[in-house]
Amino acid sequence: MPDTQALVNDFLNKLKKRKIEGSQATARQTAELLRSVISQQRMPYTNQAGALIDAVKAVGEQLIAANPVELAVGNIVRRVLHIIREEDLSLTTAAIGGLNLSAVSDDENDDDRDGDSTLSAAAVAAAARSTLRPPSLQTLLEDTPVSAAVPQTSSSGGDSEGKSKSADKSSRSRKLKHDVIEAVNELIQDIVTCHEQIAEQAVEHIHQNEVILTLGSSRTVLEFLFAAKEKKRSFRVFVAEGAPRYQGHLLAKELVARGLQTTLITDSAVFAMISRVNMVIVGAHAVMANGGVIAPVGMNLVALAAQKHAVPFVVLAGSHKLCPLYPHNPEVLLNELRSPSELLDFGEFSDCMDFGSGSGSPLLHVVNPAFDYVPPKLVSLFITDTGGHNPSYMYRLIADYYSADDLVVQRRATAGN
């Protein structure tokens, strides 16, 4: 089995060099890495959940710092931390429930027995004082007079109880790790199948002879539109090209290859064409806790055009893109600047790049942001792998996936050191 640190370092290099394309691939590989970290983590005798949380946070902090703009990394780290807490709580609840059930059953059996000696309050108090927790069930069921009369057996009984507790701890440790890994496997499966889960809802939203507008390229949007066509829906798609990377060209080619009627338009033509459109369907880079959307640059222009003409603006996003943070949080990096070479050829503009002023600064500056922020008031509906939701409901949906203690992974990890 490969060394965990080697896997972490390799993934960190991929994140820093932006070698992983797309939030889905990033989320899946992050979950797979954290699964390896958990499987190879040595479990202590006590506080097994705390050990797993510390291990995941230590790795998660590095991953988030490697590519802060890819919010899917932090989302998956927090999802895994939430899974650990939930599984630990589930095991603890089950253990307490089993203890209470056994105690009730044993009390009923004691009522049926004649001549059995009862446990004195002094013995229970002594047992409680001997430990920092309430007396165990084994202590409560011991025959106190016999134990008092034969003190030699006390030591062997204590050893037996110690071995039993040790075995229980080891068993619980293995069960916790096993349950967490199983839950992470389910998370990975959800990430892999999110496109199909969203696409299954297409026939409920796209109707006959409608005109759909989208921007750039998104596999989620592609599968969504194709699923509607598979259900014998006939419609036309307007694709804004998504300059300067022109990802819309790729989407238009894919749509035509799958037999959909497609019209490619420039980004500046969105306002001119929006009056012919019945619905805007777009993908997202991330969905924030307030219902705001981080999406490819140019998306806010499309959302404003849709609002102006009362056209529904629908966002497709898998659950791995749901971020528990708000846009104003200091740890959220909403944007990054891409290479100026996507906008212009340095050879043709080399004279503009000269330091002609002598002040040490070029005469021409190029700004090429990667993302736009679309406020929740411009979004009509979110469609996730769990169904359709209004923007005002997103914070409640997101709260089901994350724990409040894990929202800021870096600060928690720093405080624990």
pLDDT in tens, 87-118: 999 998 988 877 666 655 555 555 555 444 44
* Measured distance CA(404)–CA(417) in Å, rounded: 20
Instruction: Look at residues 383, 405, 403 and name the one whose alpha carbon lies nearest to residue 394.
Output: 383
Long-range contacts of 15-22 (CB under 8 A, 24+ apart): 15/63, 15/66, 15/67, 15/70, 15/73, 16/66, 16/67, 18/67, 20/70, 22/219
Q: pTM to 2 decimals?
A: 0.81
Q: So what's the pLDDT on residue 141?
A: 47
- Are 102 and 137 spatial neighbours (Cβ–Cβ below 8 Å)? yes
Contacts of 239 (CB under 8 A, 6+ apart): 213, 214, 215, 248, 251, 252, 255, 262, 263, 264, 265
Higher pLDDT, 213 or 345: 213
pLDDT in tens, 370-389: 999 999 999 999 999 999 99
Long-range contacts of 328-337 (CB under 8 A, 24+ apart): 331/68, 331/408, 331/410, 332/71, 332/288, 333/68, 333/69, 334/294, 334/371, 334/373, 335/69, 335/369, 335/370, 335/371, 335/373, 336/69, 336/369, 336/370, 336/371, 337/367, 337/368, 337/369, 337/370
Q: So what's the pLDDT on residue 353?
A: 63
Contacts of 74 (CB under 8 A, 6+ apart): 60, 63, 64, 323, 325, 409
387-389 and 381-384 as β-strands: parallel, antiparallel, unpaired?
antiparallel
Contacts of 279 (CB under 8 A, 6+ apart): 205, 206, 210, 211, 212, 213, 311, 312, 314
Q: So what's the pLDDT on residue 188?
A: 98
Q: So what's the pLDDT on residue 357?
A: 56
CB atoms within 10 A of CB 176: 22
Higher pLDDT, 171 or 142: 171
Least confident of 24-33, 154-163, 266-275: 154-163
Half-sphere exposure of 253 (CA within 13 A, CB side): 5
Q: So what's the pLDDT on residue 374?
A: 97
Q: So what's the pLDDT on residue 174?
A: 82
Domains of the chain, each with CATH number or no CATH: 2-192 (no CATH), 200-335+370-385 (3.40.50.10470)
> What is the C-alpha radius of gyration for the chain, rounded to an integer number of angstroms?
29
Higher pLDDT, 5 or 353: 5
CB atoms within 10 A of CB 100: 11
pLDDT at 368 over 70: yes
| CA 57 centroid distance within chain | 14
Q: So what's the pLDDT on residue 204?
A: 96
236-240 and 313-316 as β-strands: parallel, antiparallel, unpaired?
unpaired
Q: So what's the pLDDT on residue 151?
A: 46
pLDDT in tens, 129-154: 333 344 444 444 444 444 444 444 45
Least confident of 90-104, 186-200, 389-403: 90-104
| CA 183 centroid distance within chain | 13
* Measured distance CA(228)–CA(208) in Å, rounded: 10
